[in-house]
Amino acid sequence: MLENITQAQIKQMTLKELLALCEEAREKITETVLKSGGHLSSNLGMVELTVALHYVFDFPKDKVVFDVGHQCYTHKLLSGRCGDFSTIRQKGGLSGFPKRAESEFDCYDTGHAGTSVSAALGIAKARDVKGEDFSVIAVIGDGSFNNGLVYEAFNSLRLLNTNVLLILNDNGMSIAPTVGSMHEYLEILSEDISHKQKKDRHAKIFERFGFAYDGVYDGNDLERMIDKLTEVKNRLKNESVILHVITKKGKGYSFCEENPEATHGISIKNAEAVTEEYSAVLGRTLSRLAEKDERIVAVTAAMTTPLGLSDFFKKYPKRSVDVGICEEHATILCASMATEGLKPYYAVYSTFLQRSFDEIVIDICEQNLPVTLCIDRAGISGADGETHQGVFDLSFLNFIPNLTVAVPKDTKEFEKMLEFSANFNAPLAIRYPRAGKRIFDIQSEIVLGKWEKLIDANGKYVIIACGERAVTLGIVAAETLSASGIAVSVINARFVKPLDTEILDNLKETHIITVEDNMLLGGFGSLIDVYFSESDKKVKNFAYGDGFIPHGGVNELMDEFGVSSGAIVDYIKSNEN
Amino acid sequence: MLENITQAQIKQMTLKELLALCEEAREKITETVLKSGGHLSSNLGMVELTVALHYVFDFPKDKVVFDVGHQCYTHKLLSGRCGDFSTIRQKGGLSGFPKRAESEFDCYDTGHAGTSVSAALGIAKARDVKGEDFSVIAVIGDGSFNNGLVYEAFNSLRLLNTNVLLILNDNGMSIAPTVGSMHEYLEILSEDISHKQKKDRHAKIFERFGFAYDGVYDGNDLERMIDKLTEVKNRLKNESVILHVITKKGKGYSFCEENPEATHGISIKNAEAVTEEYSAVLGRTLSRLAEKDERIVAVTAAMTTPLGLSDFFKKYPKRSVDVGICEEHATILCASMATEGLKPYYAVYSTFLQRSFDEIVIDICEQNLPVTLCIDRAGISGADGETHQGVFDLSFLNFIPNLTVAVPKDTKEFEKMLEFSANFNAPLAIRYPRAGKRIFDIQSEIVLGKWEKLIDANGKYVIIACGERAVTLGIVAAETLSASGIAVSVINARFVKPLDTEILDNLKETHIITVEDNMLLGGFGSLIDVYFSESDKKVKNFAYGDGFIPHGGVNELMDEFGVSSGAIVDYIKSNEN
């Protein structure tokens, strides 16, 4: 039924047909994700709720914003994208997140947590200003519900004087189990059996902000969800409503239901060998360092396991904090703990660190505090696309005073950098990709601001690269060119800031090629351009140009966006002619 | 009494002496601020509360974090800084904000809103990890209480399992009167007369998060505050407490009490002439454009009047939103309103826009939405110091794909740019300082990415400058050098992104000098360095080096940090020799 289904057809269906539609969607999602990777258990939990939304509301006239957005698969299947669904998260295929550019049924692009309530309010406000008439819905998980943005949006509901429906999809998990007091409060609510009683006792916290609170409902019970949404749709003419819905993450597949964290995101193993993930090195090394150094504490924002820190958290519970999806708060906790002499490590994905920009500037760096940012999934991260690429971090960190920025060339160097960090008494950022794929032979001691020569070829060209991917490209390019008789040196710029001015000032090569897995503007190469702006050296930068990078495989995207050994080789060869 | 007062002396004082101390502090603050500028009414409201804190607690062993921090004047007076107090906010003198580097009594630097609860929790957590024993206090105003960070911190109180005292200093104002539902809720609380009744009815919202709620108390009643704080201090051994205190902004001076918004910050008029403030041009022009264009809406975050938009808000109440100190939420509101065809203008100080970095990337620019960021107080802003300089914006905006960045050379050009923006259908940032000081004769039409030649001197040097301050320096330098027979062209780089490649590709000058009121790294000049990295052109950048810029006068700081016409003249002359 799913194939080519229309909104009109959905509305004509009997309950029995709708239930069959749910099963078909569930199978399609499971089959596709197990084959190509993607978000599994969150989408399985959302099937009935999404079918009910499409049955009751009138999309695309009505608008639904999915918080974070990875739970939108059923919505995609029901809105004309079933035929392309097998291409999801692959280069050129459907996005794994809502995209306005992909379908008129996607009204707002999401990717980072907590934005849906603000976005729904803005859409509703615009509707009111224009004098139009449609419903606006935000669907937000209990994990995102921790984020401060939700409170900011709540706080302005009465000000904006508009009506939205907020569906709180409570499955007790972000990626890891949800933490924090609001979650505990939601748990109390969800354990109530009699709705009447519960509403009277507990709804006040939401009513204060202008929402009518309704729930708890079983979001996997299609019939009840349809009835409830039909009722709520009418109420939206006069008020904003929070509908508290319990769904089962992984619903319908016992393995997913029993392992919701492990099946949140499914990665399809690449043929390429991975020596070790950087996260594993972080966890192992930090645990070891913490044995001898009682000042070390670790902070995460709802990502403890994928960041490699679950063992650390078990071993040092008093020195570990997972604050939930609150990246700004996590950053200030680190800064303030550092003021009292602790040595905090904040581990975070590159893309989510964007949320902490102001706190890195003001709280960590202006106070010059010894916080270490361990920035995982840096560079192109791949299948999640535009909103998740870690290609901006060097650009938004490089110009912050007092901050040292380090980029290890392999997991072994990362381990050494972590050892270095333990005795480093100032703000430090270390950025690295997920997968470590090779270990280089040369492993010199880590000294602040000192680079490492990997190939000294005594020619006209030198490649200066930072990070494992870029250094690997540099080495491959140099070896290829060497075979053609062109001598190219290669330097590992393990510190992007400060630059190794001793090496730069004494370069005998006249033509510098920089390579990095980051945006050109503000990135590593641009620092070299600035350094040599008055000199006669020629500098050519290999980095990402001025555009967002969509989803796809890491290597294919790096190739397409111009950071490849082939592009370096071609450039140097063309320069020789 | 204030001069050289010690903590021990304060604790020995009788109530009568303490009251006299309050009056002395109040006089000292008023006298100093009226002479040198600074924050007045917020500090007058805080006198008794601060004296009570110093009487009851044991600083610097106990720690107090002031949210935003500008209300710390009495604290400075009581902690050994009375003698230097007349130097406050002047170059080389005391900071107007708490500074760890200034005194051991300042345990945490603040400047942006909402960080104090997180910081207090981090300090308390560190205390617990180290097994130490002291009290940790956050003092936060009701304006900051809107910020999402507060919710994130609340949410982790139970997780962190630590005890802090949160003093909610409720004066009904941020800079403007506080808005939003949480404020309305606080108002309900503060209107309660019987504490017992109120606590029973209303404290639940805070108790949910693990705080005991106590209050409302008159924070200007010294005796009661001392009694209450003494009682609360003991409770901190076992629990975290919110103490809700009402203070009168401007207390003790009727003019301030009656005009708390106007006397929030006192600026001492500079001798230099100001033709017009950019904010006035924004307000006037946007109001005019909005008459013809019903899509135009304006959004602010608790700064409507200083941003020049109070008339717009009066004229178009349905198309105006002040969300309180919620910069992230404001940004998403703009993005989402734009998805529905509105034309949002988000007016904000440069330094506070740092909070919106992630939302500018993900919500505005990834979706390529026509939101205009009107960035006031860009460049060095002066007396507020490190945490308020607007010198990072070009660096954190330039690399964001889809974003156009414009920098007007004077208020007249700013008006033209706003007219340009009304028909521009993509993300646009316009950054400008507070004061417009001159109007240039040349005023050519605004075309996307096109610069303007101000002096065409047919020599070896060209100065490319962006923004009124930099263009002025460039013109002065060129005129000075012209008198010495050195021909220097001057170009107004009104668009920092995209660059005017037609001009750049056809430059006859071989030596380029860039000038800007921003950090060197990632700033305008660095874009020129990148552009010419492979060419033979020499580029010299005048911009701020790698450090935080303290408080002082705008011109003296620009001089000291190397962005001055003298420095440009010296450079070019030395290059001639």
* pLDDT for residue B13 is more than 60: yes
Closest CA in chain A for residue B327:
A152
Residue A81: count other Cβ atoms within 10 Å of its Cβ.
20
Tokens 């224009």 correspond to A130
Contacts of A530 in chain B (CB under 8 A): 520-521, 525-526, 529, 541
Is A122 part of the contact surface with chain B (CB cutoff 8 Å)? yes
Cβ A336–B205 below 8 Å, yes or no?
no
Length of chain B (residues): 577
Contacts of A210 in chain B (CB under 8 A): 181
Closest CA in chain B for residue A186:
B208
pLDDT tier, B178 (very low <50, low <70, confident <90, very high otherwise): confident
The answer to whether residues A403 and A397 touch, using CB atoms and an 8 Å cutoff, is yes
Q: What is the 3-state secondary structure (H, E, C) of A363-386?
A: HHHCCCCCCEEEEECCECCCCCCC
Contacts of A126 in chain B (CB under 8 A): 336-337, 339-342
Which is more confident, B258 or B244? B244
Min distance A63 CA to chain B CA atoms (Å): 11
Distance, in Å, from the CA atom of B171 to the CA atom of B192, rounded to the nearest integer, reads 15
* pLDDT for residue A192 is more than 60: no
Cβ B151–A153 below 8 Å, yes or no?
no
Cβ B399–A522 below 8 Å, yes or no?
yes
Is A197 part of the contact surface with chain B (CB cutoff 8 Å)? no
Q: Half-sphere exposure of residue A364, counting CA atoms within 13 Å on the CB side?
A: 32
* Mean per-residue pLDDT over chain A, rounded: 94
Is B358 part of the contact surface with chain A (CB cutoff 8 Å)? yes
Distance, in Å, from the CA atom of B131 to the CA atom of B149, rounded to the nearest integer, reads 27
Min distance A159 CA to chain B CA atoms (Å): 6
pLDDT tier, B199 (very low <50, low <70, confident <90, very high otherwise): low
Is A302 part of the contact surface with chain B (CB cutoff 8 Å)? no
pLDDT at A270: 63
* pLDDT for residue B202 is more than 90: no
CA A124, A127, A132: angle at the middle one, nearest 5? 135
* pLDDT for residue B253 is more than 60: yes
Q: What is the pLDDT of residues B408-431, one digit of tens each?
A: 999 999 999 999 999 999 999 999
Q: What is the pLDDT of residues B387-403, one digit of tens each?
A: 999 999 999 999 999 99
Q: What is the pLDDT of residues A245-294, one digit of tens each?
A: 999 888 888 887 888 777 888 877 666 688 899 999 999 999 999 999 99
Q: What percent of chain A has pLDDT over 90?
A: 86
Name which of B99, B157, B204, B336 to mutate to probe chain A: the one with the most chain A Cβ atoms within 10 A of its Cβ. Answer: B336
Closest CA to B136 of B75, B78, B57, B243: B57
Contacts of B367 in chain A (CB under 8 A): 100, 108-109
Cβ B366–A387 below 8 Å, yes or no?
yes
Name which of B399, B403, B544 to mutate to probe chain A: the one with the most chain A Cβ atoms within 10 A of its Cβ. Answer: B399
Is B324 part of the contact surface with chain A (CB cutoff 8 Å)? yes
pLDDT at B191: 67
Average pLDDT over residues B2-6: 93
Cβ A118–B536 below 8 Å, yes or no?
no
Distance, in Å, from the CA atom of B330 to the CA atom of A381, rounded to the nearest integer, reads 29
Is A515 part of the contact surface with chain B (CB cutoff 8 Å)? no
Positions of A annotated as catalytic residues are 249, 327, 355
Is A370 part of the contact surface with chain B (CB cutoff 8 Å)? no
| Partner residue opposite B341 with nearest CB, options A126, A210, A539 | A126
Q: Given its phi and psi angles, is residue A460 left (phi above 0), alpha (psi -120 to 50 degrees) or beta?
A: alpha
Distance, in Å, from the CA atom of B96 to the CA atom of B102, rounded to the nearest integer, reads 11
- Identify the weakest region by mean pLDDT among A10-14, A253-257, A460-464, B544-548: A253-257
pLDDT at A184: 78
Which is more confident, A519 or A206? A519
Average pLDDT over residues B540-566: 97
* pLDDT for residue B270 is more than 80: no
Which is more confident, B109 or B271? B109
Q: What is the pLDDT of residues B61-90, one digit of tens each?
A: 999 999 999 999 999 999 999 999 999 999
Closest CA to A19 of A301, A225, A291, A293: A225
Is B448 part of the contact surface with chain A (CB cutoff 8 Å)? no
Distance, in Å, from the CA atom of A280 to the CA atom of A376, rounded to the nearest integer, reads 11
Distance, in Å, from the CA atom of B572 to the CA atom of B577, rounded to the nearest integer, reads 9
Contacts of A149 in chain B (CB under 8 A): 148, 328-329, 332
* pLDDT for residue A188 is more than 90: no
Min distance B339 CA to chain A CA atoms (Å): 7
Q: Which of residues 37-96 of B touch A (CB under 8 A)?
A: 65
The answer to whether residues A49 and A225 touch, using CB atoms and an 8 Å cutoff, is yes
| Partner residue opposite B339 with nearest CB, options A107, A209, A329 | A107
Strands B296-300 and B343-349: parallel
pLDDT tier, A502 (very low <50, low <70, confident <90, very high otherwise): very high
